[in-house]
Structure 1
Amino acid sequence: MMKAHTTDTSNIEFSMLERSKTKKTATKKLKCSVGSRIFDVFNVILISFMMLCVLLPLIHVVAASFSDPVKYAAHEGLLIFPEGFSTKAYEAVARNKNIITGYMNTIFIVVFGTTLSMILTIIAGYVLSRRNVGLNRFFTILLVFSMYFDGGMIPFYLVVKGVGLNNSIWSLIIPTAVNTYNLVIMRTAMSSVPESLIESAQMDGAKHWTILWKIMVPLVKPTIAVLVLFYAVSNWNSWFNAMLFIRDRAGYPLQLVLREILIQNDMSMMTAGAGGDEFMLSETIQYATIVVATLPILAIYPFIQRYFVKGVMIGAVKG
């Protein structure tokens, strides 16, 4: 009798669980109303359209760069596949000394510029995130003020020229070493680290330098990864400061060389020996140069993309 009673009780409990699951499923189905489904469909269509707007120009550029110059010149409209596969444009790019020199200059700027920027941003972010530092709020206000107001292009040029950086590759690194927006992100991330960790480290005899590199930096790695990408992309795409300060063509970064090719259509060195196909080849060379200039950032981005939301939003929610 006891076994039968136990069996009946378990059956009742099982049926009650099944009913509760059924009710939850029905509630979820009710929540997915017609309006929400329409909204979801609209979002999918909108995002798909935006994705096409981004992808189609990229596909056209890559396809055109691998196209035969003569066949591409006769093509009209959007290009999805290469018109007669050819690597003549990339061979011409490889022969151009300006592009190779520009590539080396840009790599130097990205590596040393990003390294210097991150060191300064991490140190300044740590100082500004400490509550017991004198005039902390005052310096923070000054930094935020500089983010909205500056002296303008002429004073900037005069300052760089006055300190002897004109026509030097360091004029593209030192004057713009710290970005205020990135510094604010770093300060916010470090401010979110519990103060108890800092106090316990100080009780164990740790100095600020040890706290910074042994505690702070490991805890804000997602933010550091995001800012590294921000600085690297900014240094890679920078051309305006080079146009202001660099006079020697051997010091041109890649983006300034690319600007000359696209705007001034300077193909004299790249189309030498092309004969009657010189103009047609120049069209595909422009696209090949764009691919060469964009490929490194596109290759690095997927590995850092997962840190983006976590790195930028860290410390944004309080409480």
Structure 2
Amino acid sequence: MTVTIAPTPRKRRNQRSSWEEQPTRIGSTLKGIVLTLLALSVLFPLWVILITSLSSREMLADAGGFVVIPRGIDFSAYETIFAGGAVTRALWISTMVTVIGTTVALTVTVLAAYGLSRPQTLGNRWLLAYFLLPFLIYPPLVPKYLVVTGLGLKNTIWALILPSAISVFNLVVIRGFFQSIPQELLDSAKIDGAGEFRILWRIVLPLSKAVVAVIGLFYAVGYWNVWFDALLFIDRNDLYPIQRVLQSYLLAGQAPNTSGGSVGNTMPPSEAIKMAVVILTVLPIVAVYPFIQRHFIKGVLIGAVKG
């Protein structure tokens, strides 16, 4: 006797679920128009900033400000800001703050979230309430300044790292994710003799790649964009991050100090220099984001319990 099993029909790529409404031509057209306008609203300012940073004095004079349609490429603004060394040094400071700060913040947040996610942790509820208190009542600025200066962190890069080393929101997000991991999986590891740190490193973190990557991106963007803490705690020009340098160029109207001068011993227009610094400020995050973006669509939980 031969039993034939009919193959399960595969769902076509364009086939929708039964509960989803079938698209109409008008709806698809409107969605396309809206998405196109949203994309242009984001890309057009970036295009204008990029083209203005690559414009010469004549192009800016003819355009009367920002340049939309280029008539040539002039790298004198980038040559000028890199010749002075201030922007290069600021980029190095921002890179160190971002890398060290993200590592420290992720380590502290993951350890705290894992401890608070385990019900057997001593004082679990009290510790959670302690962490949530600054989330509900944000500490004032003056005590923060007094603590940082009292610890001797002023005019050091640690003044830009330690005050933001942990975010309660990120802690709550990672804690909730850790709580969704099946307890049976962790109990089986304990039966095999694994300790808490081994369970965290070998089981919990591999299942949490998506959420850790997203939270790490949040921390990295926050550290890269730090400027208010630099305005409060950094008085030395050689410790300015890139955002502080950008703020001095755009708001204070300061010009970059050049050691070797620019091409032809003529300074590029200030608008081109400002837009060049903006491009250098945005470019690292734009370059890193595509590598992290895939974790946003993978879902919350990676992996499963095999029975």
Q: Report TM bin, short chain.
A: 0.7 to 0.9
* Whole-angstrom distance in 2 between the partners of 1:144 and 1:314: 25
Q: What amino acid does structure 1 have at the position aligned with 2:32?
A: V
Q: Which moved more, 1:256-265 or 1:70-79?
A: 70-79
Percent identical pairs in the alignment equals 36
Q: What amino acid does structure 2 have at the position aligned with 1:132?
A: Q
In the alignment, which residue of structure 2 is the partner of 1:11? none
- Deviation per CA, 1:227-265, whole angstroms, max 9, x where unpaired? 111111111011000110011111111110111011112
* 2:82 is equivalent to residue 97 of structure 1: no
In the alignment, which residue of structure 2 is the partner of 1:20? none
In the alignment, which residue of structure 1 is the partner of 2:108? 120
Tell me how far 1:46 sits from its aligned partner: 1.8
In the alignment, which residue of structure 1 is the partner of 2:293? 305
* Whole-angstrom distance in 1 between the partners of 2:139 and 2:256: 39
Q: What amino acid does structure 1 have at the position aligned with 2:291?
A: F
In the alignment, which residue of structure 2 is the partner of 1:289? 277
TM-score, with length taken from structure 1: 0.82
* Whole-angstrom distance in 2 between the partners of 1:277 and 1:50: 39
With over 3 angstroms needed to count, the CA separation of the structure-2 counterparts of 1:40 and 1:228, relative to structure 1, is same
* 2:189 is equivalent to residue 204 of structure 1: no
Q: Is the 8 A contact 1:69 1:277 kept in 2?
A: no
In the alignment, which residue of structure 2 is the partner of 1:58? 46
* Whole-angstrom distance in 2 between the partners of 1:172 and 1:77: 35
Structure with the higher helix share, 1 or 2 = 1
User: Matched residue of 2:43: which SS?
Assistant: helix
Q: What amino acid does structure 2 have at the position aligned with 1:250?
A: D
Q: Is the 8 A contact 1:114 1:232 kept in 2?
A: yes
User: Matched residue of 1:174: which SS?
Assistant: helix
* Whole-angstrom distance in 1 between the partners of 2:112 and 2:154: 27
1:134 to 122, 127, 130: 122
Tell me how far 1:277 sits from its aligned partner: 5.9
Q: Is the 8 A contact 2:80 2:262 kept in 1?
A: no
Q: Is the 8 A contact 1:70 1:277 kept in 2?
A: no
* Whole-angstrom distance in 2 between the partners of 1:37 and 1:95: 55
Structure with the greater alpha carbon radius of gyration: 1
Q: Is the 8 A contact 1:110 1:236 kept in 2?
A: yes
* Whole-angstrom distance in 1 between the partners of 2:25 and 2:124: 50
TM-score, with length taken from structure 2: 0.85
* Whole-angstrom distance in 2 between the partners of 1:96 and 1:59: 26
- Deviation per CA, 1:88-123, whole angstroms, max 9, x where unpaired? 111011112211111111111011111111111111
Q: Is the 8 A contact 1:116 1:177 kept in 2?
A: yes
* 2:76 is equivalent to residue 85 of structure 1: no
- Deviation per CA, 1:33-92, whole angstroms, max 9, x where unpaired? 7xx543333222222211111110000011111111221222047644423211111101
Q: What amino acid does structure 1 have at the position aligned with 2:189?
A: A
With over 3 angstroms needed to count, the CA separation of the structure-2 counterparts of 1:47 and 1:137, relative to structure 1, is farther
Q: Which moved more, 1:111-120 or 1:81-90?
A: 81-90
In the alignment, which residue of structure 2 is the partner of 1:269? 257
In the alignment, which residue of structure 1 is the partner of 2:238? 250
* Whole-angstrom distance in 2 between the partners of 1:76 and 1:276: 24
* Whole-angstrom distance in 2 between the partners of 1:67 and 1:91: 13
2:151 to 125, 138, 163: 163
Q: Which moved more, 1:248-257 or 1:301-310?
A: 301-310
* Whole-angstrom distance in 2 between the partners of 1:56 and 1:285: 19
- Deviation per CA, 1:192-214, whole angstroms, max 9, x where unpaired? 11101110111111110111111
* Whole-angstrom distance in 2 between the partners of 1:276 and 1:216: 59
Give the total of aligned pairs: 284
* Whole-angstrom distance in 2 between the partners of 1:273 and 1:227: 41
Q: Is the 8 A contact 1:64 1:83 kept in 2?
A: no
- Deviation per CA, 1:127-158, whole angstroms, max 9, x where unpaired? 01112223323322332331232221111101
Structure 2's unaligned 5+ residue stretches are 1-14, 303-307
* Whole-angstrom distance in 2 between the partners of 1:292 and 1:53: 21
Q: Is the 8 A contact 1:94 1:100 kept in 2?
A: yes
Q: Is the 8 A contact 1:144 1:180 kept in 2?
A: yes
Q: Which moved more, 1:115-124 or 1:64-73?
A: 64-73
In the alignment, which residue of structure 2 is the partner of 1:181? 169
In the alignment, which residue of structure 2 is the partner of 1:231? 219
Q: Is the 8 A contact 2:80 2:258 kept in 1?
A: yes
